[in-house]
Amino acid sequence: MERRVTLQDVAERAGTSRTTAHYVLTGRDREMRIGEDTRRRVLRAANELRYRPDLMARGLRTQVTRTIALIADAVASEAYAGDLVAGALAATAARGYLLFVCETGEDAELEEALVEELLARHVDAFLYATYFTRDVVVPAALRDQRVALLNCRAPGLPSVVPDEVGAGRTAAEALLSAGYRDGIWLVGEPAPHVVASVERLRGIEEALTAAGVRAAGTVPCAWWPESAFERFGALLDDGQEPAAVICANDRVAMGVYQALAVRGRRVPDDLAVVSFDDSDLAVWLHPALTSVALPHRELAAIAVDLLLGEGGPPPGEHRVPMPLRRRESVAVRG
């Protein structure tokens, strides 16, 4: 591994000074009125030597590094967080930034330490992310940094979150517009501290009420297949005749499918199903599931745009629409 080639080397080979070489290599030669052929010599020398500026040295001098930090509570849980990371990655790369990724497991001390470390490395900005939407309190050291919250919220800080109320409306309307009015059940227990739960419910109520419809009831299962399988199965065995269900998420829908399958009932003819998240499951289920998508990549892209945009991110909450992915789990009613 030979010594790095430095600006000095380029300047020497071009028979000029570092300053001159510097200006032509950073493309500011026009403003310095550097001679066309000096310019040529520098460019050629740089090429021949395969000169690459030392970004650490540059960073030390300029105090800007073109790096940003993503601080997330989890990067892989639930198969969701991955898309957040991927989205952030793509968006930062597109702007020529490199991304430090950190995972905190919600450990506040670790968070503080990480922020210190990242500050010591002069990252230009911070993305603070959570794998499910919630309110957070960010480390104090972050408060006077350039920061955007991704999929979470804190008073006074710029944040990007999915429009869960709209999603609730969308889900209900998918059923209403297909002709369902009576026998619409909600599956998945309400969770008062989970933003997604509260807001989806609100959206659903809104849309239903606006159509003069009331939900037939709620199946209070955990947001997992097994629990949904059992509780929704029990509902069926009770002799209830749901016409349609709105599931808390795709995993719940999976449990509903299983409960139906065991009893020989069919989606969508015996029961219409809509859900939230649009995870991989939605297309794996049979028949494929109509689901309101959580646009993780887009959330991340927007957060990065805000973060790196002129003048820094405008404070306040940015709500990103959750689009409906129509598939085969809702039949139009006669």
Give Cβ neighbours of residue 226 (< 8 Å, ≥ 6 apart).
255
Nearer to a second copy, 146 or 202 (CB): 146
Is residue 209 a contact residue for DNA (CB under 7 A)? no
C-alpha dihedral over 305, 309, 315, 318, to 10 degrees? -30
Instruction: Tell me the closest approach of the beta carbon of residue 71 to DNA, in angstroms.
Output: 23
Nearer to DNA, 63 or 334 (CB): 63
Nearer to DNA, 54 or 241 (CB): 54
- Residue selected from 74, 150, 236, 292 as contacting a second copy according to rule CB under 8 A: 74
Is residue 116 a contact residue for a second copy (CB under 8 A)? yes
Is residue 222 a contact residue for a second copy (CB under 8 A)? no
Q: Binds 107, which of DNA, a second copy, none (CB < 5 to 8 A, cut-off by type)?
A: none
Binding string to a second copy for residues 54 to 73, with x set by CB under 8 A, is what? Answer: xxxx-xx----x-x------
Task: Of 185, 173, 55, give the one whose Cα is nearest residue 122.
Answer: 55
Task: Of 216, 133, 132, 202, give the one whose Cα is nearest residue 171.
Answer: 202
Is residue 318 a contact residue for a second copy (CB under 8 A)? no
Binding residues among 256-285 for a second copy as defined by CB under 8 A:
258, 261-262, 264, 280-281, 284-285
C-alpha dihedral over 265, 271, 277, 279, to 10 degrees? 30
Is residue 17 a contact residue for DNA (CB under 7 A)? yes
**DSSP label of 243:** S
Q: How many helices (H) and strands (E) does the chain have?
A: 13, 12
**DSSP label of 175:** H
Binding string to DNA for residues 38 to 57, with x set by CB under 7 A, is what? Answer: x------------x-xx--x
Parallel, antiparallel, or unpaired: how do β-strands 272-277 and 244-247 relate?
Answer: parallel
Is residue 241 a contact residue for a second copy (CB under 8 A)? no
Is residue 251 a contact residue for a second copy (CB under 8 A)? yes
Instruction: Tell me the closest approach of the beta carbon of residue 8 to DNA, in angstroms.
Output: 6
Give Cβ neighbours of residue 250 (< 8 Å, ≥ 6 apart).
275, 276, 277, 278, 279, 281, 282, 285, 289, 291
- Residue selected from 31, 37, 144, 269 as contacting a second copy according to rule CB under 8 A: 144
- Residue selected from 53, 183, 312, 323 as contacting a second copy according to rule CB under 8 A: 53
Give SS3 for 219.
strand
Nearer to DNA, 27 or 334 (CB): 27
Q: Give, for 152, the enclosing helix (H) or strand (E).
A: strand 147-153
Binding residues among 249-278 for DNA as defined by CB under 7 A:
none
